[in-house]
Amino acid sequence: MTPLAALDYASVIVFAISGALAASRAQLDLVGFAFVACLTAVGGGTLRDVLLNRDAVFWIADPAYIVIACLVAAVVFFTAHLFESRQKALMWADAVALSVAVAAGAGVALKLGQPPVIVALMGVATGCFGGLMRDVVCNEVPLVLKQGELYASAALAGALALLFASYIELPSIFEFIFCGILTFTLRAGSMIWGWSLPVYKSRPPKN
């Protein structure tokens, strides 16, 4: 298994957990769990592969990704009640999944020889869109759009870190580690200590 395939599998598993936890908060049935888990797990990677015009979308080339997401959904369906706070568990699962997915998305684009701007955008898209779809379907405010949250900015920083590691010719495994650690650190810092970027504040018009 290549490092990129391993990242895709890891991303699918952890995003499926976050999707299934969101389904538990919405009190869906088992099929609903599987749907939301699969949507979350493969949404960002699907967008990446379509935009990059890959020969086959990753989960169509290997349906095991869908099977794994459904199995994860079934496990969470029977165990979600054990979490003291499903919202907190969802947030941390999403933070881990974001870190892995950004590395996977940027890594695929880099391997295909895409320019740096596209590599960065594919990292952000792969990391953010699965969670965005999950939150919209479950009628939640998307994490990526919550005020004062480092989310898309954390994904962008991680993708840029991967580009920098590639520029100085680090081994690919260290590129992924560098990207994932920075993304997770920024996201965790936002959740724990309230790290954020300045937000726009409207001003009253001058007379």
pLDDT tens, residue by residue, 142-169: 989 888 889 999 999 999 999 999 999 9
Supply the pTM of this predicted model. Answer: 0.92
pLDDT at 207: 63
Reduced to 3 states (helix: H, G, I; strand: E, B; else coil), residue 150 is coil
Give 131's contacts (C-beta < 8 A, 6+ positions apart): 15, 18, 40, 44, 94, 97, 98, 142, 143, 144
pLDDT tens, residue by residue, 3-61: 888 999 999 999 999 999 999 999 999 999 999 999 999 999 999 999 999 888 999 99
Q: Are 134 and 22 contacting, i.e. CB atoms less than 8 angstroms apart?
A: yes
CA geometry: angle 14, 84, 13, nearest 5 deg: 10
